Amino acid sequence: MKQFDTLALSTRGPALILTINQPKSLNALAQEVVNDLEAFIDWFETTGFEYRGVIITGAGEKSFVAGANIVQMNAMDSQAALAYGRQMHAVTERLESLQVPVIAAVNGFALGGGCEIALACDFIYASENASFGQPEVNLGLVPGFGGSVRLPRRIGNALARELIFTGRRIKSAEALRIGLANRVVPAEELIDQAVATIEEIAAVSPTAVANAKSALVQMDALNTHDALLVEADSFQRAFATNDSVEGRAAFVEKRSPNFPGN
Ligand code: CO8
């Protein structure tokens, strides 16, 4: 397994677990972490074919990711801050575009850049002690790693504005209620439940999941009419796969499908 200074990787069945491993700073996104995230994505895109999903979590019991590293940011000029923000934009866009589903297993603070990484994942499972927020206004800042774009898309414009303008922190129960988290679970079950979902995904056609995900990502930027064209194209490509030939034949023959994965 590939090694990184600031990330820990482990495998559970078909799932790859990526742990941001800087517990002393509550897993804040220091420059070294951002560089490692980029290197992780490079590695995963070229060699991670055996995995059917990625789970992102934070080391320790207290924090998922406490945001950008404020100590480092305090020493930056605005050009360096812009480069830091743009690098994280690229990381979040590439995470969003991975071929397999990515689940954020939020086990504590998901603040600022932490909430923004979670938003770049396909969906979020939160532990009972998780909390979410975009507290940048407390620093005289605004979200800079994609939160202004992805938070309104995930929870709606008005709620996102309220969270961004107040910097308020919300608990996991509220995150669930507003659709930010898909489920809330006891901390000790968080990874198990995320792995179980990836096992469920691993039982269906990998090409269909990749196809659906790629279409959903493209649709984010489109109006309904153009998004329907993307769906039609995606459906047509899915229809032509061997997975689909097998899936349809298995249904007709009343047996379980054995997907070839292409
Ligand atoms: N950066 C660096 N270090 C941090 C961070 C952080 N974001 N958060 C916590 N730490 C460090 C603390 O400094 C402390 O270190 P030390 O032990 O050396 O003093 C250690 O982690 C533990 O933290 P606390 O003692 O503060 O722990 P508490 O339990 O008392 O509080 C909190 C936990 C509430 C999470 C608190 O640490 C906190 O408020 N942290 C900051 C959260 C925050 O504001 N995050 C948003 C940052 S801004 C951002 O993410 C926007 C990104 C956009 C950048 C775009 C550039 C263009």
Least trusted range by pLDDT, from 17-31, 91-105, 199-213, 231-245? 231-245
Q: How confident is the model at residue 193 (pLDDT cuts 50, 70, 90)?
A: very high
Ligand 1, atom 57: closest residue by C-alpha: 85
How much of the chain, in percent, has pLDDT values that exceed 90?
Answer: 93
CB 20 within 8 A of CB 56: yes
Query: Does residue 235 surpass a pLDDT of 90?
Result: no
CB 182 within 8 A of CB 124: yes
- Tell me, in angstroms, the distance from the centre of ligand 1 to residue 46's CA: 33
Ligand 1, atom 41: closest residue by C-alpha: 66
Query: Is any ligand 1 atom within 6 A of the Cβ of residue 22?
Result: no
**Parallel, antiparallel, or unpaired: how do β-strands 7-12 and 15-20 relate?**
antiparallel
Q: Select which of 38, 93, 128, 136 is catalytic.
A: 136
Task: Give, for ligand 1, the residue of 31, 70, 106 to mutate: max count of ligand atoms closer than 8 Å to Cβ.
Answer: 70
> In this predicted structure, what is the pLDDT of residue 102?
98
Query: Does residue 227 surpass a pLDDT of 90?
Result: no
Query: Does residue 88 surpass a pLDDT of 90?
Result: yes
Query: Is any ligand 1 atom within 6 A of the Cβ of residue 130?
Result: no
Is 253 annotated in the active site? no
Query: Is any ligand 1 atom within 6 A of the Cβ of residue 64?
Result: no
Is 116 annotated in the active site? yes
Query: Is any ligand 1 atom within 6 A of the Cβ of residue 114?
Result: no
Give residue-wise pLDDT tens across range 38-62: 999 999 999 998 999 999 999 999 9
> In this predicted structure, what is the pLDDT of residue 258?
95
> CATH code for 7-202?
3.90.226.10
Q: Using the 8-state DSSP alphabet, how is residue 161 labeled?
A: H
Query: Is any ligand 1 atom within 6 A of the Cβ of residue 135?
Result: yes
Ligand 1, atom 42: closest residue by C-alpha: 66
- Give φ, ψ of 109 to 5 degrees: -65, 125
Q: Select which of 116, 162, 199, 253 is catalytic.
A: 116
DSSP string, 178-223: TTS-SEEE-GGGHHHHHHHHHHHHHTS-HHHHHHHHHHHHHHTTS-
For the chain, the domains span 7-202, 206-252
For residue 174, what are its two tokens?
């509220």
- Tell me, in angstroms, the distance from the centre of ligand 1 to residue 102's CA: 25
150-177 mean pLDDT: 97
- Tell me, in angstroms, the distance from the centre of ligand 1 to residue 94's CA: 25
225 Cβ neighbours under 8 A, 6+ residues apart = none
Query: Is any ligand 1 atom within 6 A of the Cβ of residue 28?
Result: yes
Ligand 1, atom 11: closest residue by C-alpha: 25
Nearest-10 Cα torsion for 101, 172, 192, 243: -20
> In this predicted structure, what is the pLDDT of residue 232?
87
Query: Does residue 224 surpass a pLDDT of 90?
Result: no
35 Cβ neighbours under 8 A, 6+ residues apart = none
- Tell me, in angstroms, the distance from the centre of ligand 1 to residue 5's CA: 20
Residue type, 156: G
Mean pLDDT of the chain: 96
- Give φ, ψ of 55 to 5 degrees: -115, 125
